[in-house]
A and B are shown apart, each in its own frame.
Chain A
Amino acid sequence: MAAAVKKRDYSLIGPEGKLAQERGMVAAEWYQSPIPRPRMKELMKRKNGPAIRDTVLWFALLAGTGWLGTVVWGTWWAVPVFLVYGILYATPGDSRWHECGHGTAFKTPWMNEAIYQIASFMVLRSATPWRWSHTRHHTDTYIVGRDPEILTERPPVWRILFMQILHLYGGPIEIKRFILHCFGKLDAHEKEYIPPSEFNKTFREARIYLLILLGVVATCIWQGSLLPAMLIGLPSFYGVILMLCFGITQHLGLYDDVLDHRLNSRTMKMNPVLRFLYWNMNYHVEHHMFPMVPYHALPALHEAMKDDTPAPRPSLWAALREAIGAMIRQGKDPGYAVIQPLPETARPYMYGLQEIPYITERIRQATGHTNGKTDTEGETA
């Protein structure tokens, strides 16, 4: 039976943040799978080699498809070529932004920082504000009223998700923020998670980003062609489809307000090409539970903890189907969330410091236990 769940306020400056604090869900201790320290030390080891190889390959692919795009510009061949270029621009842009933001992709700190700055511009994310936004996302993953990176609320706002196919919702918001930052201002939400000591850096970065974008616009006008913008700037809009698909699979359709990443994050299998583009972020439960493990060690981390986690979804398609199917059900029943059974070897799911009645009751109804060991795939929360 569908439980009546009140529509919640996902804003960082609304009442939900305070409620989360009162429930002990803010900056709380999260469940971690048991991995012996010596093994964890091996997994955490940093290397430059894999990230240098992948970065050289990425830039070479961008240069190659970008050059081809200029050759076929003005013909219909430009459509598929720029679709590939855009996907190669935005998808690794997002994953490199992410990994280098954590500072784990390369062993050498300046390499992480250099790629982080470049990738931030490519995906139109202010480097410093988004570093802090992502920090909060890791502190309070999908805690309503606290996490600024919840892709869509429950029930989902389909208009926003459809607009995001071309980054038409988030893109303009980011550009507006660049302009705001240029004038030395931040919006109210950003002030929630960016410390004042980082304000000046934020303003400086925005001025550089806008200068580059204005330079691209000026070049377009000077050349009387859209081509320069097709190479720099516009791919952040027309090339985001795969990045959006990846983003949807990370947490959507799963639980809000829990302290166990096995309940609110999704791991899926992927072919090597997609894993190159996504830098192994398909191992999303593993990444959230142990963010100091670099992307190149995530397959090994997955092996080390698979007896304690739900089985990975078999493909990107399966993960998307699960997430979108759950969101469709959430349209009628916002409390619905997918729960995956745990293997017999796993420790029980952990819900929160103070158990949330509607979640524990749902688990009990669905499984007869409080650890979700069942083949039930989803129930009303």
Chain B
Amino acid sequence: MTEQKWVEVCGANEIEQEDVIRFDYGDRTFAVYRSEDDDYYATDGYCTHQRFHLADGFVMGNTIECPKHNGRFDYTTGKAKKAPVCVDLKTYPVKVENGKVYLSANE
């Protein structure tokens, strides 16, 4: 079993409630979310429809809306919710320790 490798993303307060930031790691890009209830989530950074950064989009409740075509995902599960997105987003484990957000970026 692959051991989970945690990568520090940012301070927990660096993401506003009901918002998202972009996090680049190596040649990969992620979107890291903070919900209204102060829960943290992470998904792939690009929309599955076309390569646009979700971090430029709009967070409403558990939904992230892509800035280019208004496709929507549930960022807590990655599920595609509104066309033109048809393919779910990959999600990643996130933890908060000592005021820092960590992401497990294992493939």
- Which A residues fall within an 8 A CB radius of B? 27, 41, 44, 46, 102-104, 107, 109, 128, 131-132, 135, 138-139, 195, 197-198, 290-292
B84 touches A132 (CB 8 A): yes
- Within 8 Å by CB of A102, from B51, B57, B70, B86, lies B70
A41 touches B86 (CB 8 A): no
25 CB < 8 A contacts A-B:
A27-B51, A41-B19, A44-B65, A103-B65, A103-B70, A104-B70, A107-B60, A109-B82, A131-B83, A131-B84, A132-B84, A135-B49, A135-B83, A138-B68, A139-B68, A195-B86, A197-B86, A198-B83, A291-B67, A291-B68, A291-B69, A292-B65, A292-B66, A292-B67, A292-B70
- Say if the beta carbon of B58 comes within 8 Å of chain A: yes
- Say if the beta carbon of B34 comes within 8 Å of chain A: no
- In angstroms, Cα B65 to Cα A27, docked, is 18
Task: Point out the residues of chain B lying under 8 angstroms from A135, CB to CB.
Answer: 49, 69, 83-84
Task: Point out the residues of chain A lying under 8 angstroms from B68, CB to CB.
Answer: 138-139, 291
Q: Which residue of B lies closest to A196 (CB)?
A: B86
Task: Point out the residues of chain B lying under 8 angstroms from A41, CB to CB.
Answer: 19, 58
Task: Point out the residues of chain A lying under 8 angstroms from B86, CB to CB.
Answer: 195, 197-198
Q: Which residue of A lies closest to B72 (CB)?
A: A103
- In angstroms, Cα B86 to Cα A292, docked, is 19
- In angstroms, Cα B19 to Cα A337, docked, is 41
Q: Which residue of B lies closest to A201 (CB)?
A: B83
- Say if the beta carbon of B50 comes within 8 Å of chain A: yes
- In angstroms, Cα B84 to Cα A128, docked, is 10
B82 touches A292 (CB 8 A): no
- In angstroms, Cα B49 to Cα A202, docked, is 19
- In angstroms, Cα B62 to Cα A289, docked, is 25
A46-B60, A292-B57, A292-B65 known; A139-B70 Cβ under 8 A:
no
Mostly, the B contact residues are loop
Task: Point out the residues of chain A lying under 8 angstroms from B19, CB to CB.
Answer: 41
Q: Which residue of B lies closest to A43 (CB)?
A: B58
**Among A103, A107, A109, A131, which residue has the most Cβ atoms of chain B within 10 A?**
A103
- In angstroms, Cα B66 to Cα A138, docked, is 13
Give, as a whole number of angstroms, the nearest-CB distance from A155 to chain B: 31
- Within 8 Å by CB of B82, from A103, A138, A139, lies A103
**Among A27, A102, A135, which residue has the most Cβ atoms of chain B within 10 A?**
A135
**Among B51, B60, B70, B82, which residue has the most Cβ atoms of chain A within 10 A?**
B70
- In angstroms, Cα B84 to Cα A44, docked, is 19
Q: Which residue of B lies closest to A197 (CB)?
A: B86
- In angstroms, Cα B69 to Cα A264, docked, is 18
A27 touches B50 (CB 8 A): yes
Task: Point out the residues of chain A lying under 8 angstroms from B83, CB to CB.
Answer: 128, 131-132, 135, 198
Task: Point out the residues of chain A lying under 8 angstroms from B84, CB to CB.
Answer: 131-132, 135
- In angstroms, Cα B61 to Cα A107, docked, is 11
Given contacts A44-B58, A103-B82, A292-B67, 10 further A-B contacts (CB under 8 A): A102-B70, A128-B83, A132-B83, A132-B84, A197-B86, A198-B86, A291-B69, A291-B70, A292-B57, A292-B58
- In angstroms, Cα B49 to Cα A139, docked, is 11
Task: Point out the residues of chain A lying under 8 angstroms from B72, CB to CB.
Answer: 103
Give, as a whole number of angstroms, the nearest-CB distance from B92 to chain A: 23
A198-B83, A292-B58 known; A138-B69 Cβ under 8 A:
yes
- In angstroms, Cα B84 to Cα A46, docked, is 19
Q: Mark B46-77, 1 if CB is under 8 A from A, else 0.
A: 00011100000110100001111110100000
